Amino acid sequence: MPTIDPHGGALVQLLVEGAAADALRDEARNLPRLVVSERELSDLELLAVGALSPLTGFQGEADYHSVLETMHLEDGLPWAIPVTLSVDEDGAHRLAGAEAVALTPAEGEEPLAVLRITEIFKRDRAKEAQAVFGTEDSAHPGVQAQQQAGDRCVAGSLEVLSLPPHDDFVEYRMTPAETRAEFDRRGWRTVVGFQTRNPIHRAHEYLQKCALEIVDGLLVHPLVGATKADDVPPDVRMRCYEALFAGYYPKDRAMVSVFPAAMRYAGPKEAIWHAICRKNYGCTHFIVGRDHAGVGDYYGTYDAQKIFERFEPGELGITPLMFEHSFWCNRCEGMASPKTCPHDEEERVSLSGTKVREMLRAGERPPQEFSRPEVADILIEAMRGN
Ligand SMILES: [Zn+2]
Q: What is the pLDDT of residues 19-37, one digit of tens each?
A: 999 999 999 999 999 999 9
Ligand 1: distance of its center to the CA of 336 in Å?
7
Q: Map residue 93 onto helix, strand or coil.
A: helix
Ligand 1: distance of its center to the CA of 276 in Å?
35
Amino acid at 193: G
Please tell me which residue in 39, 123, 180, 197 is annotated as part of the active site: 197
Any catalytic annotation for residue 198? Answer: yes
Ligand 1: distance of its center to the CA of 369 in Å?
13
Is residue 216 within 8 A of residue 191, CB to CB? The reply is yes
DSSP 78: B
Task: Give me the pLDDT at residue 386, please.
Answer: 58
pTM for the model stands at 0.96
Stated as kind and residue range, the H or E segment containing 19 is helix 18-29
Ligand 1: distance of its center to the CA of 159 in Å?
55
Ligand 1: distance of its center to the CA of 348 in Å?
7
Tell me which residues of the chain have a pLDDT lower than 50. Answer: none
Ligand 1: distance of its center to the CA of 308 in Å?
29
DSSP 182: H
Please tell me which residue in 125, 189, 198, 253 is annotated as part of the active site: 198
Task: Give me the pLDDT at residue 201, please.
Answer: 94
Task: Give me the pLDDT at residue 1, please.
Answer: 78
Task: Give me the pLDDT at residue 260, please.
Answer: 96
Task: Give me the pLDDT at residue 229, please.
Answer: 83
Stated as kind and residue range, the H or E segment containing 211 is helix 202-212
Task: Give me the pLDDT at residue 81, please.
Answer: 98
Ligand 1: distance of its center to the CA of 242 in Å?
30
User: pLDDT tens, 36-76?
Assistant: 999 999 999 999 999 999 999 999 999 999 999 999 999 99
Ligand 1: distance of its center to the CA of 349 in Å?
10
Stated as kind and residue range, the H or E segment containing 205 is helix 202-212
Question: What average pLDDT is seen over the chain?
Answer: 96
Task: Give me the pLDDT at residue 42, please.
Answer: 97
| Omega within 30 of 0 (cis) for the link into 111 | no
